[in-house]
Amino acid sequence: MRTRSASLAALVAAGVVLSPATALAAPTPTPSPGSTTVTKAGTSFLSATPIAAGQPVRVGASTGEYLYWSFTAGAGEIHEIDASVSPAEDRTGSSTWTVEVFDGLRRRQACTAGAQTPTADASVRSVALGCTLRRVRPWAEPWSVDPLPGTYYVRLAVVEVPERDLGLPIDVELRISATGDAGTAPEDGRLETPLVPPTNAGEVLEAVPTLAPAAEDDGWNLDLTGWLPEAGSRWIWTTAGGVLAAVAGVFGFALTRRPRVRTAVR
Amino acid sequence: MRAKDIDGRSRISVAQQAFGEVVDALPDETQLGIRVLGATYQGKDKQQGCLDTQQIVPVGPVNREQAKAAVATLRPTGFTPVGLALREAAKDLGSGTTARRIVLITDGEDTCAPPDPCQVARELAAQGTTLVIDTLGLAPDEKVRRQLLCIAAATGGTYTAATSAEDLTGRLKQLVDRARDTYATTPSKVDGADACQGAPLLAPGVYTDRETFSEHRWYRVPVRPDQELRASVSMAMDRPVNPDYGVLLRATATDGRELVRGVDAGSGRTDVVSAGLRWSAGADEDADEPDEETSPSPSASATPAVTTVCLVVSNMFSPRAGTEKDPGMPVELTVDVVAASPTPDGPDLGRGWVLLLLLTLAGLLTGLVTGLLTRWWVATWREN
C-alpha cells in the first residue's frame, strides 16, 4: 500500500441536527408487512431503527459496526429472525458473526433455535444467521426474565475478526417473522404496561414526592369483586356440562323405563 | 492525499468528488460544518504545521455552492493535527442538548501527538453532550486503521475503510443520514453517589454517567406501592479491556437488603453490556415497613408510603496494561416507573366444593325441568 505519501491532508465534516421539529417528525410509521424495504440501522439501543415483522431490511455497513433494530412483540407471538451477511470479498481471514436479541429492559433473550453465532471462512460468500425467540408471555413475575410484550432489540455484529478486516464493507439482510398469534386467557395475567423503555431525558428530583392521601370512598365495588365469581368462560362451560350431564342422565333413565306411550296407544 | 491509489485517482480528488455528491444530496434541515486540517501550511516547521486546522464552512444550514467551492480548492500539505482538529470541531458544534456527530475523513495517521487523538476523543465524549465520531479511512494502512478504530470506539462511533470512490460516497451519505436520525433527546447527565444515602433521586427517563473500573454508582428511585420499577443499564466498552467482562445492576432497599438484580456477562468484541430489572412494591409490602426517611409524613398513617429503591451499578471490567482509568466508561441508565401488574389469580373453577355444588345444582335444575315438562306433557296428552 502506497499510503505514506509525503503530504497528508484530512477533512473533518461536522454534521449535526439541532432542530427538534425535524427530529420529532422522524418516528417511522408502522408499515404493513412486506412493504417498503428498510435501508437503515441504528448504532445504539436508543437509536435503533424500528422495523415491523415481515418487513425486509437491506443495509450496507462496515465490518465491526454494531447494527441495531427494534420491533414490537405482543403476547402469544413467536418471533423468528433471519439474517444474512455478505462480507467483503477481499477479507483476509475467517470471521464469526452474531445476532443477539434484548428485550425492552435490555435483558438478553435466549434463542431456542437458529444459528446465532456462525463462523465464515475467508472464501464464503454469505453467512446465514438465525434466532427463534421464546413465545411471548402475557405476564411474568417481575423477578423472571421471561419474554414479555413490548419492544425488542436486535443487534447484529461481528465478534471475531482479524483486525485488518475491520472497516471493510458488508451487506446485511434481515427479516423478522412473527407466528402464533394465540389469544391468551385472562387467567394468565396481563402486563399493565408493555416493556417499552422511556426515551425522554431524565430529571433529577429534589425530594421524594409525597402522595395524596387515598380518597375516602368505601369501595363497594371493590368489596363485591371479592365475593362474586369473576365472569369467565370456565363458569359457562362447567354449567353447560352439568346440564348436559343431567340431560344425559334423564335420557338414560328413560331408556330403562317401560315404553308407556306405546302401551297407551294400543 | 496525493497518492493515486483509489481507482487510479488521487485520494483528495476522490474525497472532493464524494463530498460534492453528499452535499448535493443533503436534506435542507441538516446543519453541517466543515473543518480541514493540514490544508494550508506549506512549510516544514512541525510546531506551526500542527496548528494547521481551519473551519472553512461554519456549522449551520448548508449553503451547497459555498460548501462545494470551499472543498474543491483544498490542497493537501504536510501535517495532520487530528487531536487538535477534533477539539476544535467539537467547539464548532457548540453545546446544545441534542446529539451530534463528527465525521473524520483522513488518509494518514496523526503526526502531531500529543495530544493523542484517541485520548482527545475520549475526553470529548466525557464532556456531557453526546458526541459521536465516525471515522473514514481512505485506503488506510495499519497505523491509520488502529488510530481511527480507537477514536471511533472511544465515542461509540464507527470506522470504515474506503477503498473506492463509490464506497466513500455511499458511506458518507449513510453517516449524514444517521446524524439526521440520531435521537432527538439526549440523555441527561447524572452523577451517581458512592452510597445509597444522598444518591440522586431519579424520575423516569434516560441518564448517562461515567463509571471507572471496580467502582459502584448509586442512584435512588421513588416507587409507590401500586407501581413497578423498571431499570436498565448499558456500559460501553470505549477502551481496550480484558476479554471477559460483565455488568451488574442491583435494586436494594434503603437498609441494604437486596430486592432484585439484573446481570449480564460476556467475552470478546462488543460495544455495550446491558442488564435490566423489574421490581414492584406490592409484592414486598408486608416486609417493607416504611421508615421515617421514606414515609412522606409520619403523622398520617393512612397515606400510602413511597418506597425509595436504591439502584447500584457495578462492572466487572478489568483494564489491560496501559489502559487509562479516567474518565470512567460511559453508563447509560434507563429508569421507568409504571403501573404494577398484579399476579394473576389461579383458575377459580375446576376443583373443590364450588365445582361440585355447581354441578349438583345444574343437575338438580335439569332434572326438575325435565320432570315438570314430562308431567305437563302427559297431562295434556290424557286430556286430548
Domain chopping of chain A, boundaries: 31-188
Q: Which of residues 284-343 of B touch A (CB under 8 A)?
A: 294, 296-297, 300, 302-306, 308, 332-336, 338-343
Q: Where are the alpha helices (DSSP H) in A184-258?
A: 220-227, 233-255
Q: What is the dihedral of CA B77, B82, B85, B90, to 10 degrees?
A: 150
More confident: B302 or A131: A131
Above pLDDT 70, what percent of chain A?
Answer: 73
Residue of A nearest to B305 (CA): A211
Query: Which residues, 6 or more positions from B311, have their beta carbon under 8 angstroms from its beta carbon?
Result: B202, B218, B219, B220, B221, B231, B249, B250, B251, B333, B335
Instruction: For residues A75 and B322, give the distance between their C-alpha atoms in angstroms, rounded to a whole number.
Output: 49
Checking if the pLDDT of A78 tops 70, the result is: yes
The stretch B262-270 carries a mean pLDDT of 91
More confident: B381 or A29: B381
Q: Which of residues 109-138 of A touch B (CB under 8 A)?
A: none
- The answer to whether residues B231 and B334 touch, using CB atoms and an 8 Å cutoff, is yes
pLDDT at B80: 81
A31-188 carries CATH number 2.40.230: no
Q: Which residues of B touch A247 (CB under 8 A)?
A: 366, 370
Q: Which long-range contacts (CB under 8 A, 24 or more apart) does A87-91 make?
A: A87/A63, A87/A120, A87/A124, A87/A126, A87/A127, A87/A165, A87/A168, A87/A170, A88/A63, A88/A165, A88/A168, A88/A169, A88/A170, A90/A168, A90/B163, A91/A63, A91/A122, A91/A162, A91/A165, A91/A168
Rounded to a whole number, what is the distance in Å from the CA of A158 to chain B's nearest CA? 8
Helices (H) and strands (E) in chain A, counts: 4, 13
Checking if the pLDDT of A229 tops 90, the result is: no
pLDDT at A22: 32
Closest Cα to residue B335, out of B285, B279, B291? B279
The stretch B288-293 carries a mean pLDDT of 42
Q: Does B233 touch chain A (CB under 8 A)?
A: yes
Q: Which residues of B touch A230 (CB under 8 A)?
A: 345, 348
pLDDT at B296: 43
Q: What is the pTM of this model?
A: 0.82
Checking if the pLDDT of B28 tops 80, the result is: no
Checking if the pLDDT of A143 tops 90, the result is: no
φ and ψ at B131, to 5 degrees?
A: -130, 125
Checking if the pLDDT of B279 tops 90, the result is: yes
Helices (H) and strands (E) in chain B, counts: 8, 15
- The answer to whether residues A154 and A73 touch, using CB atoms and an 8 Å cutoff, is no
Domains B11-181 and B188-339 share a fold: no
Q: Does A248 touch chain B (CB under 8 A)?
A: no
The stretch A233-245 carries a mean pLDDT of 86
Check residue B158 and report its DSSP letter. -
- ipTM for the predicted complex comes to 0.84
**Cβ distance of B85 and A10 shorter than 8 Å:** yes
pLDDT at B171: 87
Closest Cα to residue B254, out of B292, B299, B202? B292
**Cβ distance of B183 and A66 shorter than 8 Å:** no
What does the mean pLDDT of chain B come to?
82
More confident: A80 or A90: A80
More confident: B316 or B125: B316
The stretch B21-25 carries a mean pLDDT of 82
Above pLDDT 90, what percent of chain B?
Answer: 24
More confident: B48 or A120: A120
Which amino acid would we find at residue B263? V
Q: Which of residues 187-216 of A touch B (CB under 8 A)?
A: 187-193, 195, 197-214
A255 pLDDT band, cuts 50/70/90, is confident
The stretch A64-84 carries a mean pLDDT of 93
Residue of B nearest to A168 (CA): B161
Cα–Cα distances in angstroms (integers) from residue B237 to residues A143, B11, B213, in the given order: 27, 32, 11
Closest Cα to residue B132, out of B97, B178, B81, B189? B178
Pairing of strands A67-73, A49-50: parallel
More confident: B64 or A35: B64
Residue of B nearest to A101 (CA): B274
Best mutation site among B173, B370, B375, B380 for testing chain A: the one with the most A CBs within 10 Å? B370
Checking phi first, is residue B186 left (phi over 0); if not, alpha (psi -120 to 50) or beta? beta
Helix (H, G, I), strand (E, B) or coil at B125: helix
Above pLDDT 90, what percent of chain A?
Answer: 38
B53 pLDDT band, cuts 50/70/90, is confident
Instruction: For residues A169 and A171, give the distance between their C-alpha atoms in angstroms, rounded to a whole number.
Output: 7
In DSSP terms, B276 is beta-bridged to: B232
Per-residue pLDDT tens over the stretch B160-211? 888 888 888 888 888 888 877 765 667 888 999 999 998 999 999 999 999 9
Residue of B nearest to A19 (CA): B29
Q: Which residues of B touch A194 (CB under 8 A)?
A: none
pLDDT at B75: 77
pLDDT at B79: 79
pLDDT at A111: 93
pLDDT at A213: 59
Q: Does B183 touch chain A (CB under 8 A)?
A: yes
pLDDT at B300: 41
The mean-pLDDT minimum among A119-133, B241-255, B317-331 falls in: B317-331
Helix (H, G, I), strand (E, B) or coil at B180: helix
Rounded to a whole number, what is the distance in Å from the CA of A195 to chain B's nearest CA? 9
Question: Per this entry, what is the length of chain B?
Answer: 384
Q: Does A142 touch chain B (CB under 8 A)?
A: yes
Checking if the pLDDT of A215 tops 80, the result is: no
Nearest to A200 among B53, B185, B275 (CB): B185
Query: Structural domain boundaries of chain B?
Result: 11-181, 188-339
More confident: B140 or B295: B140
Per-residue pLDDT tens over the stretch A9-68? 444 444 443 333 333 333 344 445 557 889 889 888 988 999 999 999 999 999 999 999
Instruction: For residues A73 and B119, give the distance between their C-alpha atoms in angstroms, rounded to a whole number.
Output: 41
Top-confidence range, A46-60, B10-24, B99-113? A46-60
Architecture of the domain whose range is B188-339: Sandwich (2.60)
Per-residue pLDDT tens over the stretch A82-124? 999 999 888 888 999 999 999 999 999 999 999 999 999 988 9
Which cell numbers hold the place of A202? 431524565
The mean-pLDDT minimum among A146-155, A231-240, B321-330, B331-340 falls in: A231-240
Topology (CATH) of B11-181: Rossmann fold (3.40.50)
**Cβ distance of B5 and A232 shorter than 8 Å:** no
Checking if the pLDDT of B290 tops 60, the result is: no
- The answer to whether residues A111 and B283 touch, using CB atoms and an 8 Å cutoff, is no
pLDDT at B295: 41
Instruction: For residues A177 and B203, give the distance between their C-alpha atoms in angstroms, rounded to a whole number.
Output: 36
Instruction: For residues A222 and A229, give the distance between their C-alpha atoms in angstroms, rounded to a whole number.
Output: 13
Secondary structure E strands in B3-108: 31-37, 53-61, 100-106
B146 pLDDT band, cuts 50/70/90, is confident
The stretch B109-127 carries a mean pLDDT of 82
Nearest to A169 among B167, B279, B363 (CB): B167
**Cβ distance of B159 and A1 shorter than 8 Å:** no
φ and ψ at B370, to 5 degrees?
A: -60, -45
Which cell numbers hold the place of B252? 436494594
Q: Does A219 touch chain B (CB under 8 A)?
A: no
Nearest to A235 among B97, B163, B349 (CB): B349
Checking if the pLDDT of A217 tops 60, the result is: no
Question: Which residue's C-alpha cell is 464507527?
Answer: B158
The stretch B212-222 carries a mean pLDDT of 93
Instruction: For residues A246 and A221, give the distance between their C-alpha atoms in angstroms, rounded to a whole number.
Output: 35
Rounded to a whole number, what is the distance in Å from the CA of B229 to chain A's nearest CA? 9
Nearest to B349 among A20, A209, A234 (CB): A234
Instruction: For residues B246 and B223, give the distance between their C-alpha atoms in angstroms, rounded to a whole number.
Output: 27
